[in-house]
Amino acid sequence: MTSAIRTNMNSVRAHNIFEANNAQATKSFNNVSTGLRINSVQDNPTNYVITEKMRERINSLGQAQQNIQNDTAMLKTADKGMSNIVDILRSLNARALEAADDSVQDNDRVNIAKEMTSLMEQINYTALSTKYNGKNLLATESGKADNATDIASAATDNVTLQFQVGDDTTAVIAGVTIQNMTLTALGLDTAYANVSAITDATTATPLKSASNNGTVSELQTALSTALDKALSGMANVGALEQRLGYTADDVSGQIENLEASVSNIADSDMAKDISDYMKWNVLGQAAQYMLAQSNQSAFQVLNLLQ
């Protein structure tokens, strides 16, 4: 075996082994510290790209989940407004039945007409003021129409919505319609004009019994039709809320599965990485010791000169 002091190959080898062990120990240390076995693209380029794509999808689905919560809150707002209008329609029907009975006088019918006029205006007000984040839900226009001219000219189009419920622009619930609940849309504009025109006993005929005047029957028919339309609108909103509930469950399931996949690919096996860190740390110390020993060989050669 050649004795040399210019190039100490044992020292070079020991140093290389020490560096390799130290690099492995550092990698295991990082895995334990971060809880990840893929901390950068150089750890595993293919799996790094896969997990980043999954994380992006998780982020998008998280926003879709928030959208669904907002959409559900919006529908609940519409549902509440519709519920109030349905209650008013029931009260209007009761007042119409009361006015049609011959136990009341025309003077009483005037008071009933005033109450019915106020209730009908409240329907319009509720329809026009029910909003979510500034968006009209039960009417296609804003403001308060409480006179026969404005009510008769009100728009009757239903409100149209689109819900973004997935991680791309194609994952939508489109063409969602909410029943317009203004007096005109419910078919009560004529009834409002007739009832609001009652100012004294001589004009009370629209609320007299059917045996004396057919107008009250027309009023009751209009109220019944309006109630059916309002209840149908409520049922539609309820069905949409139900659908969004199922959609929310589906999105939550997708997020859960994607997070599990990312965990399987990128998360550190803590027990293994801790064990590896201890192993490489010990081996690094051993290599460091042997490096120190190999550096002594040069001095041993110099002893030959003594």
Highest mean pLDDT among 38-52, 196-210, 237-251: 237-251
Same domain? 165 vs 96: yes
Instruction: For residue 171, count other CB atoms closer than 10 A to its CB.
Output: 15
Same domain, 289 and 170: no
250-268: average pLDDT: 85
* CATH number for the domain harbouring residue 191: 1.20.1330.10
160 within 8 A of 176, measured Cβ to Cβ? yes
Residues 137 and 242 placed together within one structural domain of the fold:
yes
More confident residue, 195 or 281: 195
Please indicate, yes or no, if residue 261 is contained in any of the structural domains: no
When pLDDT is cut at 50, 70 and 90, the band that residue 208 belongs to is confident
Element (H, E) at 163: strand 159-164
Residue 123 in any domain: the answer is yes
Q: How does DSSP assign 255-291, residue by residue?
A: HHHHHHHHHHHHB--HHHHHHHHHHHHHHHHHHHHHH
Given a cut of 90, is residue 10 above it in pLDDT? no
pLDDT at 228 over 70: yes
Average pLDDT, the chain: 82
| Whether residues 182 and 96 fall in one domain | yes
Q: How far apart are CA 105 and CA 101, in angstroms?
A: 9
Q: Are residues 73 and 217 in the same domain?
A: yes
Of 279, 269, 212, nearest in space to 22 by CA: 279
| 273 has pLDDT over 80 | no
pLDDT of residue 114: 95
Cα(110)–Cα(115) distance, integer angstroms: 9
The yes-or-no verdict on residue 24 having pLDDT over 70 is: no
In the predicted model, is pLDDT for residue 296 greater than 60?
yes
Cα–Cα distance for residue pair 276/24, rounded to 1 Å:
8
Which domain, by its residues, includes 76?
A: 60-250
Interaxial angle between packed helices 215-266 and 189-196, expressed in degrees from 0 to 180 and rounded to the nearest 10: 130
Token code pair at residue 293: 């020993």
Residues 238 and 279 both lie in one domain = no
Same domain? For 17 and 143 the reply is: no
Same domain for 109 and 24?
no
- pLDDT tens for residues 87-138? 999 999 999 989 888 888 999 999 999 999 999 999 999 999 999 999 999 9
pTM here is 0.77
With respect to residue 168, please indicate whether it lies within any of the assigned structural domains: yes
Query: Residue 63: what pLDDT?
Result: 93
Q: What is the mean pLDDT of residues 174-193?
A: 91
Do residues 198 and 206 lie in contact, with contact meaning Cβ atoms separated by under 8 Å?
yes
Q: How far apart are CA 80 and CA 74, in angstroms?
A: 10
The count of domains in the chain is 2
Instruction: Give the confidence band of 227 by pLDDT, cuts at 50, 70, 90.
Output: very high
Domain endpoint, select from 250, 277, 295:
250
Residue 179 CA to residue 170 CA, distance in Å, equals 25
- Specify whether the CB–CB gap between 266 and 44 falls below 8 A: no
Residue 34: per-residue pLDDT: 65
- Tell me the CA distances in angstroms from 259 to 83, 166, 251, 272, one per residue in order: 40, 16, 12, 21
Same domain as 289, residue 182: no
125 in the same domain as 90: yes
pLDDT in tens, 148-163: 777 777 788 899 999 9
End-to-end CA distance of the chain: 21
CA distances, 104 to each of 8, 112, 211, 213 (Å): 121, 10, 14, 15
Within this chain, do residues 124 and 195 fall inside the same structural domain, yes or no? yes
